[in-house]
Chains A and B, each alone.
Chain A
Amino acid sequence: MSGLGLFRVVGRASAPAPVEGVEARARREEAIGRWGMGVAAAGIALVLILLGRRHGFGPTTYIQFALDGLRAGSIYALVALGFVLIYRVTGVINFAQGAFVMLGPMITATLYERPWLSPPPLRLAASAAAAVALTALLGVAVERLALYPARRASPLTRVIITVGVYLILQGAALLLWGPYAKVLPAFSTMALADRSFRIAGLLVKGQSLWIWGTTAATLAALALFFGRTTLGKAMRACAVNRLAAQLMGIPVDRMSTLAFGMAAALGAIGGIVLGPVTRATYDMGLDLGLKGFVAAVMGGLVRFPGAALGGLLLGVLENLWAGVTLAGFKDLFAFIVLILVLLARPTGFAGAAEEERA
């Protein structure tokens, strides 16, 4: 601070700082995200109803579609939470997230196939727990080995690194398990055939209840973690402002590693409960990972509740869409939504003005 001469001013510097706080920007982004989501949802609902009338669908059919969609939606929500967690703490969009979703059921099924523990339900539970733990460890390893060394690289470089990690994990899965599907038994029957209930004309599968229950429990656990524990609060501080958190003595690097571990675990949990519904294959991660990302973007990419809501909404809407259009177009939906939601934001997240003022 040389050359200020006679007019050196210290006291004023911090007075009415005309710089938008991170908080305010996050709030505005969230608002825009919600607005984009609302417009998209209304437009889509209109299209769905118009297309559905051609098939002569009644309200029950729609509700059934929505209910089934909620199942995939719960998984999207868990994956989306992983995206948001990693993005907020490390600033990376983790492409490899889908691979964690795939590894959950693959590892579980591999462990479960071997008769190492006699009562099957116990064995399944133990296998699942081991799979989640292993995947979480893998997430930690990914962060340490591939992303930590590149922490100063550009976002593009880091995205490409996570793409590479995804390819490695998917390739490793193919190497280990081959191209064949792994099957997990339905949790309530411990057999391939699942129990289903009929409530008010609606068909609900037993596994759906497991999925919803697990998702709800996971969300509650996350809320407790972030709200009540010191570690959770430290992590949230990192998510809000990395630099400030570092100045407060929070070990930011360790938080990044932890975020990867947690995100991997979230993905694995989602994959495992989904396992009995869709057969797990080495390449299932791409689709689920991308849709989890779409869900995260729908929720604004920075808020945990937004991501969960985005996931559920995407699942429901996508299934409705698949119901009224061609089956092959099911996957198209998420990407149309992705592009629409992204474009609904005027300048993405960092406008030119913020860049200069900062």
Chain B
Amino acid sequence: MVSPNGTGERADRPLLEVIRVRKAFSGLMALVDVSLQVWPGQIKGLIGPNGAGKTTLFNLIAGLLRPTAGDIRFQGRSIVGLPPYRIVALGIARTFQNVRLFPGMTVLEHVLVGAHRIGRSGLLGAIFQTPRMRAEEARLRERAWALLERVGLAEWADRPAESLPLGLQRVLEVARALASSPRLLLLDEPGAGLNPSEKARLAALIQEVRRAGVTVLLVEHDMGLVMGLADEIAVLDYGVLIAEGPPEAIRRDPRVIAAYLGADEVADAA
């Protein structure tokens, strides 16, 4: 099958497969038998009205929630039931819709924590300051600096992360996620609360990330951002996948228009 990532490249199997996943919260169905694939090298968009189940699906993939039924496979391997840190170790990194930075830690330290899975040294290495630990630390710091240069945060490196403006905090979250050298990057509404210039900068960063060979799954509310970035878009409404395809097709899809238009009528009536 031809991978719909816009490059015409062939891939024999999807990187991430969500297979008939269902999630119920005390009887309420948040997701109903959702299936979708993310192909290597793609930027895949996931959109839908508020409460459609986007973030729920996201948390299922990242291991914060467990599906009621169905399977989630990464590189052919089921990741259901794994704790979040094991999923990171397999090569899936994420950002958060409401930025989750660590209070009191600097920008550089955030990237270093993000690189946690790259390191090996443990408690004894730290206590006795072994040469191996020092060498690893130096290597990690070098990597972290390089990453900060690339995303344009180098000048902020020693600042406490909470002192950054929101736009840069989101960039930092992306940098922290990239520090673990993921194969798949999950972005949860990265554009929320950003002004247009910050958004443009973020879009450029996401493009660059993809060029570096990282696959991206992008949950986004801002249609403009998704339409411009994604190779393929999936649409959720009331927990059901109602459409999937390239942006132009999605824009014209009557079910998608109905889902959003219906909502708009409600909004106008209110």
Query: Using a CB–CB distance below 8 Å, which chain A residues touch chain B?
Result: 2-21, 24, 352-353, 356-357
Contacts and interface: CB of A to CB of B under 8 A. Distances in A.
Interface in B160-206: 191-194, 199
Given A3-B191, A20-B26, A9 B263 contact: yes
A2 B193 contact: yes
A16 B260 contact: no
B24 to A, nearest CB: 9
A156 to B, nearest CB: 14
A18 B51 contact: yes
B49 A7 contact: yes
B260 A9 contact: yes
Contact of B28 (A4, A6, A16): A16
Contacts of B266: 9-12
A13 B25 CA distance: 17
B106 interface: no
Q: Which of B49, B84, B193 has the most CB of A within 10 A?
A: B49
Interface in B233-270: 238-239, 260, 263-264, 266-267, 269-270
A24 B27 CA distance: 10
Nearest to B56: A18
Contacts of B270: 10-11
B26 A12 contact: no
A13 B26 contact: no
B264 A9 contact: yes
B37 interface: no
A357 B199 contact: no
Contact of A8 (B28, B53, B239, B267): B267
B223 interface: yes
B22 to A, nearest CB: 12
Interface residues of B, number: 36
Most B Cβ at <10 Å: residue of A12, A17, A353: A12
Nearest to B260: A7
B231 to A, nearest CB: 20
Given A16-B51, A357-B56, 19 more contacts: A2-B193, A3-B191, A4-B221, A4-B222, A6-B260, A7-B221, A9-B49, A9-B50, A9-B267, A10-B263, A11-B269, A11-B270, A12-B51, A16-B30, A18-B51, A24-B26, A353-B65, A356-B96, A357-B65
A8 B243 CA distance: 19
B263 A12 contact: yes
A13 B50 contact: yes
Contacts of B51: 12-18
Nearest to A352: B64
A7 B263 CA distance: 8
Interface string B19-52: 0000101101110000000000000000001111
A352 B192 CA distance: 23
A19 B96 CA distance: 17
Nearest to B238: A16
Which of B23, B26, B50, B260 neighbours the largest number of chain A CB atoms within 10 Å of its CB? B50
Contact of B223 (A5, A12, A14, A353): A5
A15 B239 CA distance: 12
Contacts of B191: 3
B194 A3 contact: yes
7 contacts: A3-B193, A4-B222, A7-B260, A10-B270, A12-B51, A13-B50, A357-B59
Contacts of A12: 49-52, 263, 266
Contacts of B199: 3
Contact of A356 (B23, B49, B64, B192): B64
B3 interface: no
Given A2-B193, A4-B221, A7-B223, A18 B267 contact: no
Contacts of B194: 3
B50 A18 contact: no
B8 interface: no
B11 to A, nearest CB: 31
Nearest to A27: B26
A11 B269 CA distance: 9
A21 B194 CA distance: 31
